[in-house]
Chain A
Amino acid sequence: KAGVTQTPRYLIKTRGQQVTLSCSPISGHRSVSWYQQTPGQGLQFLFEYFSETQRNKGNFPGRFSGRQFSNSRSEMNVSTLELGDSALYLCASSFEGQVTEAFFGQGTRLTVV
C-alpha cells in the first residue's frame, strides 16, 4: 500500500510569508503527527491529530497551526515565516496515536530566505 505522502518536497519562502504543507497518511491510519527536524534541535514534536481533533501540541509558537480533514489528510500552516523556521517538516501516520510504530513521509524541506 502507498506510504505517507508529503507535498511539496521542497519550498523556498521569504520572511513574513506563510506556508501550507500537506500530508496524506497511509490508508486506514487516523492519527497524523507533525515534527520539525533541524540539525541543531533534532526532531521536535509539533502536534498530533486524530479524527479531525488536535489531541496534543508541542512547544511551538501560535504561528504554527494544523488541521485534519475527514479523510485523515492533514495540513500544517506556518504564518509570518522567520529564518529559524527553515527545517525539514515530517509527517507521521499511525492507525491510532497511542501505538509506537509510526510511518513517516519523506518530509518537506522548507527554506526561508
Chain B
Amino acid sequence: GESVGLHLPTLSVQEGDNSIINCAYSNSASDYFIWYKQESGKGPQFIIDIRSNMDKRQGQRVTVLLNKTVKHLSLQIAATQPGDSAVYFCAEKGGGFKTIFGAGTRLFVKA
C-alpha cells in the first residue's frame, strides 16, 4: 500500500547550523510532496511543497529536494533557530483528494 516513511525519528542540531530531515516514499504516482511542521499543542502547519516533476524548490530558509530515482525527499532548514523545534512530517498527495503523512521527525534545536 501507500506509505511515506522517515529515516530518523529524532534530530538534534545546534542553533545556527543547517538541518536536514529525510523522508522515503513508496508511491511513485504522487503528484506533490509536502512538508508540514507541528509544534506542541498545535495542528500541522504547511511549510513547502514540490511537484513531482521538479527536483528542487526553495522557500524562506527552507529547501526541499526530491530524488525520484531513489524515492527520497528531504527538507533543508538553513540557520536553524529555536523556533524551528517541532515535529516535521513529509506527506504525499496524488489523486483522490487525500494526503498521506509520514511518521514524523522531531527536531531539537540546541541553544
Measured CB to CB, the closest approach of chain A to B60, in angstroms, equals 15
**For chain B, which range describes its interface: under 10, 10 to 19, 20 to 34, or 35 or more residues?**
20 to 34
A45 to B100 CA separation, bound complex (whole angstroms): 7
Q: Which of B36-44, B68-76, B78-86 contacts A (4 or more CB under 8 A)?
A: B36-44
Contact check: which of B45, B46, B102 meets A42 at CB < 8 Å? B102
- In the complex the two chains form, is A98's CB within 8 Å of B42's CB? no
Contact with B along A8-34 (1 / 0, CB 8 A): 000000000000000000000001010
Given contacts A42-B103, A43-B89, contact A104 B98 (CB under 8 A): no
A residues in contact with B93, CB < 8 Å: 100
Determine whether the beta carbon of A56 is less than 8 Å from that of B49: no
**Residue numbers in B under 8 Å from A56 (CB-CB):** 96-98
Whether A103 contacts B46 by the Cβ 8 Å rule is yes
A-side contacts of B99, CB under 8 Å: 33, 45, 100, 102
Contact residue among A42, A48, A90 (Cβ-Cβ distance under 8 Å from B98) = A48
Main secondary structure of the interface of A (DSSP, over half): strand
What bracket does the count of chain A residues touching chain B fall in?
20 to 34
Contact pattern, B 100-111, Cβ under 8 Å of A = 1, otherwise 0: 111110000000
Question: Are B101 and A42 neighbours in the complex by a CB distance under 8 Å?
Answer: yes
Contact B101 A35 (CB under 8 A): yes
On A, residues with C-beta under 8 Å from B are: 4, 31, 33, 35, 42-45, 48, 50, 55-56, 58, 90, 92, 97-98, 100-107
Q: A58-B98, A103-B46 are in contact. List 11 more A-B contacts (CB 8 A).
A: A33-B99, A42-B104, A43-B44, A43-B89, A43-B91, A43-B104, A48-B98, A98-B97, A100-B46, A100-B49, A104-B44
Q: Can you give 10 A-B contacts (C-beta < 8 A)?
A: A33-B97, A42-B102, A43-B89, A44-B101, A45-B99, A45-B101, A58-B98, A100-B49, A104-B44, A106-B41
